[in-house]
Amino acid sequence: MTFLIDEIALATARLAEAGVPSPRTDAEEIAAFVHGVPRGMLHTIKDADFDARFWEGVARREAREPLQHITGRAYFRYLSLEVGPGVFVPRPETEVVAGWAIDRLREMDVTSPVVVDLGTGSGAIALSIAQEVALAQVHAVEIDPVAYGWAKRNILEHGQGRTTLHPEDLTDCLRELNGQVDLVISNPPYIPPGAIPRDPEVRDYDPSRALYGSGEDGLDEVRAVERTARRLLRPGGFAVVEHADQQGNAVYWLFAEENGWRDVRLRQDLTGRDRFVTARLTQD
């Protein structure tokens, strides 16, 4: 294990020099993946069993390839999901969005709440809700064929029985559920077309379709989510929509009172940045 400790220390220095935000954690995650053990069990690896493929993974991360593409896994709340090229890697800030929805669903006086996740990507939000809300019936919508494939794999692993995947566009999906849904949630594309994400992991590896919204402000997909949520929700049902930290006010005003929305709130992530808007459909 002494040799592996030294190798991890060297890898940490290389990743830090490359600007990787969490170099020690990433070096340990790569070592754990290569050696087929949980990160907490790295101390059990004998020096003689060191796998030189560790350095291949370090070189990929040093080039700012996402850790999740190297290991093939992304952690989201209590789930370990399969991810890779062609699907958006779920982020920690979205865990807060999903958590708010889960709390509201648990508070509802509904035996088997119906939930729709618009643009599910890897299935992270949909599967977290299905796992954490007893008897929830979750519908995950994804039109992109590559992302659909990743979501299908994850649903087969984690969500069989209570998560249904639909290859439909979020603008015109699930008309059979009109007026019957308890909560609609979405992390749609919202980056304005002219903006360039700062992090190479996002800019160079996440699929552009999952990043860049339509329209000058990038919010046309959010507008579509608002219309679809208004159609799908029962009176008193909730809409939950993620956005960029500088878009909060713009998204807030998309959920207009004249369209039947009330209790519209701008909410923050764990860093205190505006991250998502919640609204409730009028019960009258």
List the one residue out of 133, 90, 128, 95 whose CA is nearest residue 114: 133
Longest dimension (CA), the chain: 71
* 186 annotated as belonging to a binding site for a ligand: no
Cα gap 31→54, rounded to integer Å = 6
Q: CA of 240: how far to CAs of 86, 94, 96, 229, 251, in Å?
A: 25, 11, 11, 9, 11
**154 an active-site residue?**
no
The residue annotated as part of the active site, out of 33, 188, 238, 276, is 188
The residue annotated as part of the active site, out of 33, 54, 76, 88, is 88
The residue annotated as part of the active site, out of 187, 238, 255, 276, is 187
* 86 annotated as belonging to a binding site for a ligand: no
Q: CA of 26: how far to CAs of 15, 35, 39, 57, in Å?
A: 8, 14, 10, 10
**200 an active-site residue?**
no
Q: Which two three-digit tokens encode residue 49?
A: 């069993």
* 119 annotated as belonging to a binding site for a ligand: yes
* 187 annotated as belonging to a binding site for a ligand: yes
Cα gap 62→49, rounded to integer Å = 24
CA angle in degrees (0–180, nearest 5) for 260-266-203 = 115
**259 an active-site residue?**
no
Cα gap 192→172, rounded to integer Å = 23
Taking the CB of residue 175, how many other CB atoms lie within 10 A of it? 10
* 120 annotated as belonging to a binding site for a ligand: yes
* 188 annotated as belonging to a binding site for a ligand: yes
73, β-bridge pairs: 82
Give the catalytic positions in this structure.
88, 187-188
Binding-site residue numbers for substrate are 187-190
Q: Which residues are annotated as a binding site for S-adenosyl-L-methionine?
A: 119-123, 142, 187
- Annotated binding-site members: 119-123, 142, 187-190
